[in-house]
Amino acid sequence: MNRKQACRMFWSSFLISSALWIIICFILFAVFGCAHNPYLKTDSNQHARQCVLPVMVGISEGMPEELVDATRRAIQYWNTVDSRKYFVSLGVQPWGADDPMSGGFVPIQLVPAESLWDLGLATCGNASMIIRNASGCIRRAKIKIADKCTGSIEVFETIVRHELGHVLGLKDNYLDWNAVMSAVAAEGIQEHPVDANPQELKALRELYGP
Ligand SMILES: [Zn+2]
């Protein structure tokens, strides 16, 4: 091997190893850099959470009976995921989600689908909250569910569970389509309501203690 060949060999192996490292870095970034963070955060990067448990939840008048039952089940579901009592159901209440009188509890109201828009897309549910920036305490919350998303009771119950997950401080999941906090409901999960996945349960333990 003369000098020229050695030089060429050095540079080609240098380029190949650099390319390999760039590929490895991309893979590591894809795995760890984009991993789902399950927490809702305030502007000051605090984890948002309920500072007083259990949270009172009411169902706004006007919801058909079978949906009221499914909503009650969704509220109770969160009380079964660990040893904590997260919610107390106040049953059906005469006040809508935007009524100032509903300030003492988290109202869950069925609303026309056209009134629920998120990022320019019609959505099935929405939880809006007032979160104290300094403490991360969620002060008020209200939940609206689109009337078009009531075709399947199981899916409806999953949507209510999902919105209540936000009220506890969990964020939308864009990576796992089978999580209760999944931003989009996966096809084929309509036989039963979706449960919280291990990451979501771990996040609750981190927020509310073991
Ligand atoms: Zn969501």
55-208: CATH number: 3.40.390.10
Q: Where are the beta strands (DSSP E) in the chain?
A: 55-60, 87-93, 106-111, 117-118, 121-122, 125-131, 138-146
pLDDT tens by residue, 1-26: 666 777 677 677 767 777 777 676 66
Per DSSP, 77 falls in state H
- Distance (angstroms) between ligand 1 centre and the Cα of 182 equals 7
Q: What is the pLDDT of residue 8?
A: 76
- Distance (angstroms) between ligand 1 centre and the Cα of 157 equals 14
Pairing mode, if any, of strands 106-111 and 55-60?
Answer: parallel
pLDDT tens by residue, 26-58: 666 555 556 889 999 998 889 999 999 999 999
- Distance (angstroms) between ligand 1 centre and the Cα of 12 equals 50
Sheet with strand 125-131: strands edge to edge: 87-93, 55-60, 106-111, 138-146, 125-131
Are 78 and 54 a contacting pair, CB within 8 Å? no
Tokens of 73: 């089940």
* Residue 86 pLDDT greater than 70, yes or no: yes
Compute the residue count for the chain: 210
- Distance (angstroms) between ligand 1 centre and the Cα of 10 equals 53
d(CA 111, CA 63): 9
Give residue limits of the domains in the chain: 1-35, 55-208
- Distance (angstroms) between ligand 1 centre and the Cα of 166 equals 7
- Distance (angstroms) between ligand 1 centre and the Cα of 25 equals 31
Q: If you count DSSP H runs as helices and E runs as strands, how many of each does the chain have, helices first?
A: 4, 7
* Residue 137 pLDDT greater than 90, yes or no: yes
Q: What is the pLDDT of residue 13?
A: 76
Q: Identify any residues that bridge with 47 across adjacent strands, giving them in sequence order.
A: 41
Tokens 């969160």 — which residue?
78
pLDDT tens by residue, 96-133: 999 998 989 999 999 998 888 766 667 899 999 999 98
